[in-house]
Amino acid sequence: MTTFHGVDLPDLSGTTAVVTGANSGIGRSVSRALAAAGARVVLAVRSIERGHTAAHGIGGDTEVRELDLADLGSVRTFAADWDGPIDLLINNAGVSGPSLTRTTDGFESKFGINHLGHFALTNLLLPHITGRVVTVASQAERLARLDFADLNWEQRPYQASRAYNDSKFANLLFTAELHRRLTAAGSNVRANAAHPGLVATNIYQHDGPRRPIDLMWSAVLGLLAQDADHGALPVLYAAVADIPGNSFTGPRHLAHMRGAPQLIDRSEPAQDPELARRLWNVSEQLTGIGFPLPSGTSTR
């Protein structure tokens, strides 16, 4: 595809998509596009009330289910209650924020939600998945540097931007190792990642007094950001386009910040298979959840 728009989606009638963080922003836009193409869309959200409000605005065949990625117990419950095939799993939910917070299980929240929550969810749902897993990453990964000795920021002075960058880097390493394992298991499922570009969503909005950096971001977003519907396009492209597994998609213009989606590059560290395996092994240890498919097993 030389250009791609939401209207380019194929007929998705008879398919099921699960979208995390679907009550607002990119997740809501992705859900709306998939539902308009005929998919049954399950909005996996922390707030059932907000999820139903979003579903009402989306229309089509939608369902709302509770999922709190900051609580591995909630992730396990969501997966245990699932029955039937999943054609698309869209790992979209994400958090930012200026302060150090922790998940129910004690993980630093950005790493715990953006990476570990989706790591756990994907592996628990994988026996049901028949099509693709798309994880929303970011070019912020280029500024990351994982500290395996202190992934949960228990020893270092906390740096909010670094923690976010690291979580997006982890998303790409997770995608690469997931696709490698799927291929080794003989599965036809593809794992892809998507960068939505610079998008004006509530991930940039925080409670509390506005800092100088918040004012700067507000100005940047006002001048350069695209809306959530355009930010959803790389995610949709990663979900349905005829592209290889372990692809990374993003906008084509303004240093991949705006425009129609295309395949984009990732940093050299994000392509390191040994680093991806190391993160996977640590993630298994932290969550107690591993890859569920034995070698030679196909999910189709």
Q: Which of 194, 204, 188, 15 has the alpha carbon at shortest distance from 96?
A: 204
- For 122, the token pair is 């994907």
* Alpha-carbon gap, residue 273 to 251, rounded angstroms: 25
- For 251, the token pair is 């906008």
* Alpha-carbon gap, residue 287 to 184, rounded angstroms: 23
Phi-psi region of 147 (alpha: psi -120 to 50; beta: other; left: phi over 0): beta
| pLDDT greater than 90 at residue 295 | no
| pLDDT greater than 90 at residue 199 | no
* Alpha-carbon gap, residue 211 to 230, rounded angstroms: 28
Say if pTM beats, i.e. exceeds, 0.85: yes
- For 180, the token pair is 């490698």
**In degrees, to the nearest 5, what angle opens at C-alpha 174 toward C-alphas 221 and 19?**
60
Burial class (CB in 10 A: 0-12, 13-18, 19+), 7: exposed
**Using N-to-C axis directions, what is the helix angle for 72-80 and 118-125, rounded to 10°?**
20
Confidence of residue 259 (pLDDT cuts 50, 70, 90): confident
Is 164 designated active site? Answer: yes
- pLDDT averaged over the chain? 90
Q: What percent of the chain has pLDDT over 70?
A: 86
Q: What is the pLDDT of residues 174-195, one digit of tens each?
A: 999 999 999 999 999 999 999 9
Burial class (CB in 10 A: 0-12, 13-18, 19+), 130: middle
Question: From the candidates 158, 164, 204, 237, which is the catalytic residue?
Answer: 164
Radius of gyration of the chain (CA): 18
CA atoms within 13 A on the CB side of 179: 21
Cβ count within 10 A of residue 108: 21
Q: What is the pLDDT of residues 260-279, one digit of tens each?
A: 899 999 999 999 999 999 99
Q: Strand 258-263 to strand 248-253: parallel, antiparallel, or no bridges (unpaired)?
A: antiparallel
Strands (E), the chain: 16-20, 40-45, 62-66, 86-91, 129-136, 190-194, 248-253, 258-263
Bridge-partner residues for 33, per DSSP?
none
The pLDDT, as a whole number, for residue 296 is 44
Residue entry with tokens 């399950």: 42
* Alpha-carbon gap, residue 38 to 46, rounded angstroms: 25
